[in-house]
Amino acid sequence: MALFNFLTQEIAIDLGTANTLIIHNDKVVVDQPSIVAIDRRTDKVIAVGMRAMQMHEKTHENIKTVRPLRDGVIADFKAAESMIREMIAMIYGDKKPLFPPRYKMVICIPSGITEVEKRAVKDSAEQAGGQDVKMIHEPMAAAIGIGIDVEEPNGNMIIDIGGGTTEIAVIALSGIVCDQSIRVAGDEFTLDIVDYMRRQHNMLIGERTAEMIKINVGSALTDIDSPPDDYPVNGRDLMTGIPKQIIVSYSEIAHAIDKSISKIEEAILKALETTPPELAADIFKTGLYLTGGGALLRGLDKRIGQKTKLPVHVAEDPLRAVVRGTGIALKNMDRFTFLMDD
């Protein structure tokens, strides 16, 4: 039995549309983009994570890059399985274990996921070596990750803006009381920027460039304190076909992603409308908690605060809040068992 325990490794996985993070022995050991590069001729995986991201949108006909997750759920089963397996192998670096260990896993999933999509996540994890696979909803994991006591009879609203989905949930007594899950998040912002550059500047840019624009000058408001410097963008001129460079400012990008942010605001208001009155009273006192990569968008907390007239707190290290919560749930399995799905 001791040998069996020795061979069982515990890992917590945040399987995200944009990034996948893995916690092993209480440490984040893998933090990689959720992308796989595949050789079209042999169908073999040639790169995963950062290396595959460097190839993205720069490939020739023999290589294709695939993002196995779309809108927080698995879109390409085979690629997802390969990606999970390769990322688990990254835990050990060059030191490959003598015996392939069994894995006890907790994976977080969007709260608006269907049974079929849930099954796909579980199957992929089992194919990649998971022996005992449990699942926890993202807003719940985020709440645990930012230090909220989810077992208390107090209402807390979590807004987790990831790559593919925005999860909004009111949590009390270890359960999700009401939630909204919309497929508008970081990826949508990126597409908005690509679209804006094409319409406004007659310039074609790729997803990776749009992502860099979002990181460097992305903003939710057209007027913010301590604005970032203007950002030079390289792309292809649609009129002449020649590469060129233009400079964009944060207020332009705020205009570009304005509609998508409005959709997130609407979903937050909808979730607040369906909140039972006693929990709404709690939320008035505690405010809203922002997690996920989208929480890093400049001025977003201020904009949501203006819209809801409620205090908005951005989690520290919002990108890792979900995986941290998943790791805590894994360590305290007996305490949080009822939060998880098989």
Specify whether 155 is located in the same domain as 281.
yes
- Do residue 210 and residue 178 come from a single domain? no
- Residues 266, 310, single domain; the answer is yes
Please compute the mean of the pLDDT values over residues 57-81 and round it to a whole number: 89
Q: For the chain, how many structural domains are there in total?
A: 3
- What's the N-to-C CA distance of the chain in angstroms? 24
pLDDT of residue 5: 55
Confirm if 180 and 271 have CB atoms less than 8 A apart.
yes
User: 296 vs 73, 216, 286, 291, 293, CA distance in Å?
Assistant: 23, 11, 20, 8, 6
Q: What is the pLDDT of residues 250-260, one digit of tens each?
A: 999 999 999 99
pLDDT at 251: 94
Q: Are residues 30 and 112 in the same domain?
A: yes
Q: Which of the pair, 63 or 99, is modelled with greater confidence?
A: 63
Whether 159 and 304 share a structural domain: yes
Phi-psi region of 148 (alpha: psi -120 to 50; beta: other; left: phi over 0): beta
Is 335 or 275 the better-scoring residue by pLDDT? 275
The verdict on 169 and 190 lying in the same domain is no
What pLDDT was estimated at residue 121? Answer: 87
Average pLDDT over residues 213-227: 93
Q: Which domain-ending residue is among 233, 258, 283?
A: 258
Same domain for 224 and 277? no
Residues 108 and 163 in one domain: no
E strand or H helix at 36: strand 36-39
Q: Is the pLDDT at 3 greater than 50, yes or no?
A: no
Question: Model confidence over 125-143: pLDDT tens digits?
Answer: 888 888 888 999 999 999 9
Tokens (6 digits) for 16: 């995200």
The pTM (predicted TM-score) of the whole model is 0.91
Domain that holds residue 237: 186-258
Name the pLDDT band for 338 (thresholds 50, 70, 90): low
pLDDT bin (cut points 50, 70, 90) of residue 1 is very low
- The pLDDT assigned to 310 comes to 96
Instruction: Give the pair of three-digit tokens for residue 57.
Output: 């949108």
Binning pLDDT at 50, 70 and 90, where does residue 225 land? confident
Does position 7 have pLDDT exceeding 80, yes or no? Answer: no
Concatenated DSSP letters of 157-171 = EEEEE-SS-EEEEEE
- What pLDDT score was predicted for residue 6? 57
- CATH number for 271: 3.30.420.40
Q: Look at 94-103, 109-118, 289-298 and tell me which has the smallest mean pLDDT.
A: 94-103
Q: Give the model's pLDDT for residue 123.
A: 87
pLDDT at 2 over 50: no
Q: What does pLDDT average to over the chain?
A: 90
**291 and 325 in contact (C-beta within 8 Å)?**
no
Q: Based on the domain organization, do 77 and 177 belong to the same domain?
A: no
Residue 64 shares a structural domain with residue 151: no
What percentage of the chain reaches a pLDDT higher than 70?
95
Residue 56 and residue 195 share a domain: no
Identify which has the larger pLDDT, 110 or 323: 323
pLDDT band at 342 (very low <50, low <70, confident <90, very high): low
Please tell me whether residues 114 and 239 are part of one structural domain.
no
Of 275, 270, 267, 281, the C-alpha closest to 176 is 275
CATH number at residue 251: 3.90.640.10
pLDDT for 254? 96
